[in-house]
Amino acid sequence: MNKRRELVNTLRDMGYIKTEKVKKAMLNVPREEFMTPETRDLAYLDRPIPLKHGQTISAPHMVAMICEQLTLKPGMNVLEIGTGFGYNAAVVAEILGPEGHVYTIERIEALKKRAEQNLSKTGYTNVAVIHGDGTGGYPEKAPYDRIYATASAPKIPDPLMDQLKVGGRLLAPIGEDPNYQELICILRRGKTEYQTFNLGGVVFVPMIGEHGWPEE
């Protein structure tokens, strides 16, 4: 817990954590439970951790930034594209509380299974992990108050724009360069009215699927 507290304090001092709710959530979620046995000791370093299958666990500062930018509130209905091992979804679920729901989609089945185990052993029963191509969203539980992607696409997939509630907010890393993308924030103002903000440079693994990058 000391290491977790130290990391959270550092992220707050650096300006990534801005609100009490994100701070509390990151203090409550045991990040070590979302790591592989070999990388458990690295849980409280602020860096992305490589997983099998060429994927990564996002760095804690990126999780903090996403949670702050999403302006999450208890009870919201949220969609995540790119579950990985489930840590970011757990932090979001912690903020939403028992009345909220997180639907998270992962294209690699082995990661989906691992995330499900991690979320179950840490008690996040308000997160459903779905195996599939998240570029098509998850129409079954749409519309969403918030949608965020932790993998990058050349443009925002149309189905995600459609599945966002009017008044909702979407975050996704967008760009064609594998080493540089921009974190784009979309606010849906009306049925066909969307406002776009660029939150600056980031680096994420590619979002592979029908409305993202083609599989090689």
Binding segment for ligand SAM among 20-28, 39-47, 83-91, 165-173 (CB under 6 A)? Answer: 83-91
Instruction: Please select the residue that binds ligand SAM; options are 57, 65, 79, 156, rule is CB under 6 A.
Output: 57
Restricting to residues 167-206, which ones interact with ligand SAM according to CB under 6 A? 204-205
120 is catalytic: no
Q: In angstroms, what is the minimal distance from the CB of 64 to ligand SAM? A: 12
Per-residue x/- track, 132-171, ligand SAM (CB under 6 A)? -xxx--------------xx--------------------
CA 90 to chain centre: 9
Q: In angstroms, what is the minimal distance from the CB of 207 to ligand SAM? A: 4
Of the two residues 77 and 88, which places its CB atom closer to ligand SAM in the complex?
Answer: 88
Catalytic, out of 55, 56, 58, 88: 58
Per-residue x/- track, 101-130, ligand SAM (CB under 6 A)? ----xxxx--x-------------------
- Please spell the DSSP secondary structure of the chain, one letter per residue: -HHHHHHHHHHHHTTS--SHHHHHHHHHS-GGGGS-GGGGGGTTSSS-EE-GGG-EEPPHHHHHHHHHHTT--TT-EEEEE--TTSHHHHHHHHHH-TT-EEEEEESSHHHHHHHHHHHHHTT-TTEEEEES-GGG--GGG--EEEEEESSBBSS--HHHHHTEEEEEEEEEEEEEETTEEEEEEEEE-SSS-EEEEEEEEE---B-BSTTSBPP-
CB 106 within 8 A of CB 82: yes
Of the two residues 54 and 190, which places its CB atom closer to ligand SAM in the complex?
Answer: 54
Q: In angstroms, what is the minimal distance from the CB of 114 to ligand SAM? A: 10
End-to-end CA distance of the chain: 42
Q: In angstroms, what is the minimal distance from the CB of 19 to ligand SAM? A: 19
Q: In angstroms, what is the minimal distance from the CB of 189 to ligand SAM? A: 27
Q: How far apart are CA 21 and CA 6, in angstroms?
A: 17
Which residues contact ligand SAM by CB under 6 A? 55-58, 81-84, 87-88, 105-108, 111, 133-135, 150-151, 204-205, 207-209, 212
Which residues are annotated as catalytic?
58
